[in-house]
Every structure is written in structure tokens, then in C-alpha cells.
Structure 1
Amino acid sequence: MKCPGQDTQYWNKDAIYEVRCPECGKDVEFFKDDTARKCEHCGHRFANPKMDFGCAAYCKYAKQCVGDLAPELLAGQDNLLKDRVAVEMKRYFKRDFRRIGHATRVARYAERIAQTEGGDMAIILSAAYLHDIGIHEAERKHNSSGAVYQEQEGPPIARQILEKLGARADLIEEVCDIVGHHHHPRPEETLNFKVLYDADLITNLEEQHKEKPIAPEKLARLLQKAFLTPAGRKEAEGVLLN
């Protein structure tokens, strides 16, 4: 079945219109299903400002449905993906509000760190929401929530969630790799991993500190040596020293 929004039999006279080029101001003719067009006057290619991308912002069949996607839409897909990953994480954990809260705080700190350090926000936040997704299986299979078991059980579940959401293949692979060793940095790590690691460390230390205050000397050593990014260390100081 063809998407009704893209089927010309449902179109009317408003399906074709002109839009001013943002670069030169000349009119460019658009059909309602054009995701982007190039201005014949100056050569600038820009997204269709009147197109309601709707489901195309997350549907894995969007490219087949509406053709090549404009950069703005591709960015929108990644931006929406992290929100949908958060929803799936909450569905998976159900009433385990402790784990939901932990993942949400990790994502919040990761976003703050990434705003300074950089990295791929879609990968970072997807990994943040899914980094502990294997904990229930670890407890069920191994009677333990230990890091090694989380890392063992997490990637298949993360992959299943991301594939269900139609995430791009390279994102799925990197997120699953991060989930699979998020407690154990390798000698050489990606920036995306470092941001996630620091965000998770901040959250773990914050939770530990609330349950049993960490001695100032030990906390100072951790802040100096344990973090992988300058922004992560700065964020930790703001959270833990205040």
C-alpha cells in the first residue's frame, strides 16, 4: 500500500507551490512530496519548508517512501531517535524506577558533557539510555547485576530495540559496542564512549555519595584521575562538590 500522503490521486491544487530560495531569494517550485530541491538560479539545495515529514522523521522505510532525505530530515531522525530509545528503555524496565532514573540521569549528564566535548549525540544518548539494559537478564541468568554480566547481556537487547526503531546500522553497532564494555575502557576509546563513561561515573558516584558519603580525599582523587574528558571532570565537580 502506498502512503496516501505521497499518492498523487489524493493531491489538490495546493500540492505544487513556490518557495523563495534562502540564499538568493528566487522562487523555486516544489511538489508537496519533494524533500528538497536545488535552486536553478544559484544552485543552493534546501529542504522543503512546507513538507510535513511526520512519520518520515523516524520510519525506517522513509527513504523508499519519499526519496533521498534532506540533511535537515536526517538530523531530525537522529534527534527523534534518542527520545524513542528513552521510551523503549522505560517500557523495558517497566516499574523498575531505580534503573529508569539512573539511565535518565546518565543521559542528562552525557548531553551536558557532549555539548562541550562534541561527539555524535544520537549515539551518546542512545548508549546512555541503554547502557544498563542487560541488568535484568544478568540478574535472571547469573543471579548478579555485576558489570561483566551487564555487559554480556546488554548488547543483544540494545540491538533488538534499535533495530525495531529503524536506527542506522553504524549507530546500532557503536551503541552495542559501548553497551558491551561500558564499565571497562580500552586503551584507545572513541569520544562517544568517553562521554558516556564519564556520565555513568558521575551518576554512580552521586548515588553512592547519597547512600554513604565518600571521604573528601577519595573524592578528590577520583575527580582527578577517574574521568576521561575535561568536561566530564568539570561536570562531576559541579555535581559532587556542591
Structure 2
Amino acid sequence: MKCPGQDMQYWNEDAIYEVACPQCGKPVEFYKDDTTRTCRQCGHRFVNPKMDFGCAAYCKFAEQCIGSLPEEFVGAQDNLLKDKVAVEMKRFYRSDFKQISRMLKLARHAEKIGTRENAKLAVVLCAAYLEGSGRAEAGTGGSAAAPQSPIDSRVGIVREVLGRLGAKAAMIDEVCQVLSGDDQAITERSKEMACLHDALLITELEDEFQDGRLNEEELLEQVQKGLSTAGGRTEAQASFPTIHARS
């Protein structure tokens, strides 16, 4: 079945219109399903300003439906994917509210650090939401004859969840790569790996400090020694204002 919005039998007289070229002002004719057009006068190519790309931002069949999407809307698809992953992982954890709370806290730190570091936020956040899945899966039991490590289990869950949500292969590989970077040297980590690493460290230190497993001196030492990004250090200052005042 063809999307009704793209089926010409549902079109009316407003389906074909002219738009002034933003470069030279010459009228350029658009059909309502044209994503872009090139001005014959000056050669400038621009996005159809009247087209609603809302469904294209989340539909995995968008390219088959309306052709190649403009670059800015490809980014919108990735950003929407992270929200779908968050919802999916809440379902995955079911009533494990402690794990859900940890996941959301980790994602908040990762988003703030990733923004400061100009990292790929969709990749960083998908990795943050999926980070604890291997441990959760390992804790539910399974085959005693062929147990999986948390890392092996996590990779399988990551690929299954992202694939089911319509993520492209490149995005899935990138998220898996970020999640595999725990043992890499700081100099070998990608920007996205470093952001997730710092978000994880801050999340873990928050729990340990609140539970009394770390005093302020130990917390300050871990923060100074363990963080690898400027964005992570700024986030730690906001998360631990008392030790920041002492440093």
C-alpha cells in the first residue's frame, strides 16, 4: 500500500506550486513530494520549504517512499532513534526501576558531556541506554551449558534492538564500537567512547559517594584521575559541587 500523502490520486490543486529560489529569487516549480529542486537560473539546490518531513524522521521506509532525504533530516532520524531506544529499554528492564533510574542518569550525563564535546549525540545516547543490557540479561539466567559473558550478551541485544527499530547498519556498528571501548587506552578512544566513559564514571562515583563507599578525598582523586574529556570534568563539577569548591 502506498503512503496516501505520496499517492497522486489524493492530490489537489495545491500539490504543485512555485517557490522563490533563496539564492536568486527566480520561481522554482515544486511537486509536493519533491524533497529538493535545483534552480535553472543559478543552479542552487534547496529543500522544499513546504514539505512535511515529520513521518520521514521516524519511518524506516522513508528513502523508498520519498527518495534520498536531505542531510538535515537524516540527522533527525538518528535523533528520534535514541528516543525509541530509551522507550524500548524501559520495556526491556520491566519493573527493575533501579536499573531504569541508573540508565536515565547515565544518559543525562552522557548527553551533557556529548553536547560539550560536539560528539554524535545519537550514537552516545543509544550506547548509554544500551550499556547495562548485557548485565541485566546475564542476571536473568539462561542456558547453563553455554553461558554468555555480559559483553557478548550486550552486543547481541544491541544489534537486535537497533535492527528492530530500523537503525542503519552503520549506526549499529558505531554504537557497538562505542560499547566495546571500555578496555581501550584513552588515546585510542573515539570522541563518543570518551564521552560514554566519563558519563559512566560520574554515574558510578555518584552511587558510591551517596552510599558512603567513598569519602570526599577519594572522590576528588577519582574525578581528577579518571575523566578524559573537558566536558566530563565540567559535568563532574556540576555533579559534585562540594569537592569542586575544595579543588
TM-score (normalizing by structure 2): 0.88
Residues 118-129 of structure 1: pairs in structure 2 closer than 5 A:
118-129=118-129
- C-alpha contact (below 8 Å) 1:223/1:237 kept by paired residues: no
CA drift of 1:213 comes to 5.2
- The answer for the alignment partner of 1:22 in structure 2 is 22
Tell me, yes or no, if the aligned pair for 1:155 and 1:177 is still in contact at 8 Å. Answer: no
Structure 1 counterpart SS, 2:228: coil
CA distance in 2, matches of 1:19, 1:38: 11
Measured in 1, the distance between the counterparts of 2:44 and 2:26 equals 11
Match of 2:112 in 1: 112
Secondary structure (helix, strand or coil) at the match of 1:140 reads: coil
Q: Is the 8 A contact 2:134 2:152 kept in 1?
A: yes
Question: Please, which runs of 5 or more residues in structure 1 have no aligned partner?
Answer: 143-147
Structure 2 stretches of 5 or more lacking a match? 143-147, 243-247
Q: In the alignment, which residue of structure 2 is the partner of 1:200?
A: 200
1:99 aligned partner, one-letter code: Q
Q: Report if the CA contact (8 A) 1:47-1:72 is conserved.
A: no
Moved more, 38-47 or 69-78: 38-47
Report if aligned partners of 1:131, 1:178 keep a CA contact under 8 Å in 2. Answer: no
1:12 maps to what in 2?
12
Tell me the TM-score normalised to structure 1 length.
0.90
Aligned 8 A contact 2:209 2:219 in 1: no
Distance 1:23 1:203 in 2: 49
Q: Which residue of 2 aligns with 1:184?
A: 183
2:170 maps to 170
Offset, 1:238: 1.9
Q: C-alpha separation between the residues in 1 aligned to 2:235 and 2:132?
A: 21
d(CA) in 2 for partners of 1:167, 1:94: 23
1:154-169 paired onto structure 2 within 5 Å: 154-169=154-169
> 2:136 — aligned with what?
136
Distance in 2 separating the partners of 1:87 and 1:21: 41
The 5 A counterparts of 1:50-61 are: 50-61=50-61
RMSD: 2.0
Q: CA distance change for structure 1 residues 230 and 34 in 2, over 3 Å: closer, same or farther?
A: same
Note if contact 1:85-1:129 (Cα within 8 Å) is conserved in structure 2. Answer: yes
> Cα distance, 1:231 vs. partner?
1.4
Is the Cα–Cα contact under 8 Å of residues 33 and 51 in structure 2 kept in the other structure?
A: yes
Q: How many residues align?
A: 237
Residue aligning to 1:145: none
Amino acid at match of 1:116: R
Would you say the 8 A contact 2:181–2:189 is kept in 1?
no
Work out the percentage of aligned pairs sharing the same amino acid: 49
- Residue-by-residue CA offset, 1:48-83 (whole Å, 9 max, x unaligned): 222122322122221111011111211111111111
